Amino acid sequence: MNQSTQKIPAHAAGTFKIAGEIEINRLGFGAMRIVGKGVWGEPADRNKSLATLKLTQELGINFIDTADSYGPFISEDLICEALYPYPKGLLIATKGGHTRHGPDIWRPIGNTDYLRQCVLMSMRRLKCKHIDLWQLHRVGKDVSPEEQFEAIAQMQKEGLIRHIGLSEVDVEMIERAKKYFNIVTVQNRFNLFNRHSEDVLNYCEKHHIGFIPWAPLNAGKFAESTSVLKEIAHQKDATVNQIALAWLLKRSPVILPIPGTGSPEHLRENVASVHVNLTDHEFERLNQAGEKEWQKMKEMMNLSR
């Protein structure tokens, strides 16, 4: 895709209103990849990560998703260093409830005192008086989900959290959480290749809940097994990743992709996906091919058990 289209801001992706009141451009930025390998420690090139964050504003991205476990803590520190004082209209969402014990090691903790600490420390690192969108990174198994939800609802009542989201939950868990607070976003793994959360996406669409697909770029593996993605990418003068993002944006108006990177060049490439217009026929071809690969993956997973 040529350089001229890459300069057009992310608002070309259309907008979505979180909780019906916070309007954001649908293509956001995931801040997991701005830290070190294994989502652990400092980035290999700190200046490059800071430059990537600053470029988000030039490209019209007004939704940044992070978590206290990215680094841990380093992603939030970098966001503050690069963007504070924050531009008007920028929504920084963060998550808590996932502890770290080393590179690529994650352990959910639902202890309510710990969750409160997560919120308070994120507020300190991001230099904000409250968190506009705080998401429970995982529902911990050490205490009941209801205890966690009650504690989160209390923090919202106290004004520490404005809006609440969940991550990696099924429809049943969403319904349980709804008894305690209004859920404005759900962040589950979903992409052209992985349809595990299709029912959750459909639920979110029905209830106008923002659906944030993490790992939205699984196109590389998909491209190895089918020619459809490569064919359409060639026809559109685009990369396979851009086609994968364009498919997500067309799949549902509540989908808010947050492709992450620590590279300004890669960020420009991701944002350029908002200018890829898939026809209904192209979308359906991709959809069918992706569903076919997903069925193959499920069969392999069942055989390995």
Rounded Cα distance between 185 and 22, Å, is 12
Phi, psi of 86, rounded to the nearest 5 degrees: -70, 140
User: Per the structure block, which two tokens stand in for 305?
Assistant: 């058990």
Q: Is 70 a catalytic residue?
A: yes
Cα–Cα dist 88/277, whole Å: 29
Q: How far from chain centre, in Å, is Cα 9?
A: 19
Q: Which long-range contacts (CB under 8 A, 24 or more apart) does 178-183 make?
A: 179/149, 180/146, 180/149, 180/150, 180/152, 180/153, 181/149, 181/152, 181/153, 181/156, 182/19, 183/209
Annotated catalytic residue within 70, 86, 114, 203: 70
In Å, how far are 215, 237, 277 from 272, measured between CA atoms? Answer: 18, 11, 11
Helices 46-58 and 264-271, axial angle in degrees (round to 10): 30
First to last CA, the chain: 43
Tell me how far apart the alpha carbons of residues 25 and 166 are, in angstroms, rounded to a whole number: 20
- Cβ–Cβ < 8 Å for 148, 173: no
Residues that are catalytic: 70
